[in-house]
Amino acid sequence: MSKNNQEDLIAQFGSASRQYSDASIFMHEAIARKAGLSGADHKYLGLILRHKSITAGEISKLTGLSTGAVTGLIDRLEKKKLLKRQFTSEDRRKVIIVPNVENSIKLLKPFFDGLQEKTSALLSTFSDEQVLTIERYFIAATAIMNETTKNLNKK
């Protein structure tokens, strides 16, 4: 492939990638509004749901949010019964955040059922090798974004 063709291909890919990123943000904002959450609270809830339990400090470290912002996030999600605070027996000052998976699924599942169905149908149009290539791209791109975020969040 010539250098110009490769540059054009990379430019096209960059454009498609930006459109995907924008569409993802807009979709998650719309889902959040319908679920009665802010876009940020919706995405941070998704992060919390990936853990059986997590501390507020760990949320702060993972997200780069201040401890005050994390406290506000936890307050809002707890008010909606999407998580709960638990205190450890060893240190009552240490708070463990436990997601309420059942309530979260009940709230969000209706918005994701159709999306999951359509995404599965789309993926079925690709060969196994193509799906593995797409997966490899997402894993590597996620690592790059996580590294960039970590560097930007350094104090």
The answer to whether residue 15 scores a pLDDT higher than 80 is yes
* Interval 89-136: pLDDT, tens: 777 777 899 999 999 999 999 999 999 999 999 999 999 999 999 999
Tokens of 60: 């702060």
Which amino acid, 34?
A: K
Longest Cα separation, the chain:
65
Domain CATH code at residue 41: 1.10.10.10
Q: Looking at the domain assignment, is residue 52 inside a domain?
A: yes
Q: Looking at the domain assignment, is residue 131 inside a domain?
A: no
Q: Looking at the domain assignment, is residue 155 inside a domain?
A: no
Q: What is the pLDDT of residue 3?
A: 75
pTM assigned to the model: 0.82
Tally of structural domains, the chain: 1
Q: Looking at the domain assignment, is residue 152 inside a domain?
A: no
The answer to whether residue 44 scores a pLDDT higher than 80 is yes
CB 63 within 8 Å of CB 70: yes
The answer to whether residue 155 scores a pLDDT higher than 80 is no
- Domain span including residue 32: 3-124
Q: Looking at the domain assignment, is residue 34 inside a domain?
A: yes
